[in-house]
Amino acid sequence: MPIFVRLEKYLFYFLFFAIPFQTRKILWYQSWSFNEWQAIFIYGTDIVLALLFVFWIFNKVKVEIRGYDYFLFILILCSVISLKNSSSYVLGLYNVLKLAEFVIFYFYLKNYAVYKFGISGAMKALVAGGLFQAFVAIVQFVKQSSLGLRLLGESVIGPDLVGIASFFNTKGEKIIRAYGTTPHPNVLATYLFLAIFSFYFIYFYFYKDKKHHWRNECLIWAGYLFLLFALFFTFARVVVFLWLAGFILRSLLVLFKDNIRKISFASEENKLKLLKILVSSIVAIVLFGALYWPEVLSRIKISSGEEAVQLRIFYNKESLQTLNWFGVGPGEFVNWLMIKEPNLSRNLYQPVHNIYLLIYSEIGIVGISAFILFLLFLIKDFVVSTKIDKLHHYSFLIIFLSLLFMGLFDHFLWTLQQGRFMFWLVCALLASTQHLTFVNNSAIITKSD
């Protein structure tokens, strides 16, 4: 294999492994006091992605544009037009460029990368990345502090610091949630969510241990439990709920194997695999609940008086006051909020915790309309194109809908580097996997006619 071919392949897999890394250089920030949402960065993953784009260009692969993709061009156009409303043209232009970067990433994946590399290797990279993040997260939670992985962008966390993601258990003890190398536990939880889904995909469709070697089985289930415990240590309620709901739905897709007309059940091998996953998941839930019941009980209860709930309501109400055809400017919600509500504490100046309201606020009515139409027609195309004998492909739709549901309660899928990668990755997978087939234990995505 030529050296450049190997380099491209390794860079592609490394990108999936490195999505949670926060390694970055601050290029500019708006005022003397640093605010995450008023700054410009270049990330290590930006450089990796740029190199992959260079390989893509040299391979001269034709870009296939489907009908719903034109809504993305409208979205970018609306973002450019909304610059006229920006209070900071530098910040606004940066956010337009970030949107363009990840739309290009979406086209790169669905037109080139999935055909050249398949998806099984990328999913293995996600599982490997998830295991690494799980190790960091578990040690962080046990120590209740960061590990000093500053080179990877690990956030500084500790029991005496303010502004970190924490809560009080039923004993009154302050508990710091696990971060991994991401900027927030919810971001880590979403990456682990994708890693666990990738584990299911690989285990059901690629893993065949004919010798049933007990060492292999032990490693597999140790890794799975590791991922689950790390997910639980994030205490991300929405993501954990979606994992549980998605697990039940995917189990049904495996059980009722391929053809819903004949209701043919899964093979004995897949039934056994499903049973093993079910038992392991129950063991993980029971064990975690037994060990950390005061923490679990504290997080299960959701009160309308919680600060997190109250802040989300506040941001939502504020965003609805930005009625404008083209919004307040890309990436400008925080600037707009500072002008409208100048007396808030600095740590409260954040984007609205809802990607749909955020796009509505920043890019306007036309922009959010284009975004929603893109999502709806992408789903419609997937449902129409996915044949009835490929029922298991709907697990990708479950993941996609899960991320859309997360977007109702948080903004990182639209505002943070790691969230952008995960969102556009799942969009590209949904746009491609209706053409997914399995040949000799390899996942191959064939171009549509």
Residues 19-71: tens digit of each pLDDT = 999 999 999 998 877 889 999 999 999 999 999 999 999 987 788 899 999 99
For 104, the token pair is: 């290009």
Cα 279 to chain center, whole Å?
26
CB atoms within 10 A of CB 162: 6
Q: How confident is the model at residue 441 (pLDDT cuts 50, 70, 90)?
A: very low
Q: How confident is the model at residue 393 (pLDDT cuts 50, 70, 90)?
A: confident
pLDDT tens figures, 407-433: 999 999 999 999 999 999 999 999 987
Mean pLDDT of 272-277: 82
Q: How confident is the model at residue 189 (pLDDT cuts 50, 70, 90)?
A: very high
pLDDT of residue 266: 53
Distance, in Å, from the CA atom of 46 to the CA atom of 52, rounded to the nearest integer, reads 10
pLDDT tens figures, 92-108: 999 999 999 999 999 99
CB atoms within 10 A of CB 268: 8
CA quadruple 413, 357, 397, 402: dihedral sign? positive
pLDDT above 90: residue 389: no
Angle CA(132)–CA(138)–CA(144) in degrees, nearest 5? 130
Asked whether the beta carbons of 315 and 373 are under 8 A apart, the reply is no
Q: Which residue has the higher pLDDT, 71 or 254?
A: 71
Side chain identity at residue 80, one-letter code: V
Q: Which residue has the higher pLDDT, 394 or 133?
A: 133
Q: Can you give the pTM of this predicted structure?
A: 0.93
pLDDT tens figures, 153-163: 999 998 888 88
Three-class SS state of 263:
coil
Q: Which residue has the higher pLDDT, 397 or 217?
A: 397
Asked whether the beta carbons of 329 and 362 are under 8 A apart, the reply is yes
Strands of 22-97, DSSP E: 24-29, 39-43
Mean pLDDT of 196-221: 78
Mean pLDDT of 350-354: 94
SS3 content of the chain, % helix, strand, coil (to 5): 65, 5, 30
Contacts of 86 (CB under 8 A, 6+ apart): 92, 328, 329, 330, 332, 335
Asked whether the beta carbons of 15 and 49 are under 8 A apart, the reply is yes
Distance, in Å, from the CA atom of 186 to the CA atom of 165, rounded to the nearest integer, reads 9
The average confidence (pLDDT) of the chain is 88
Mean pLDDT of 201-213: 72
Q: How confident is the model at residue 203 (pLDDT cuts 50, 70, 90)?
A: confident
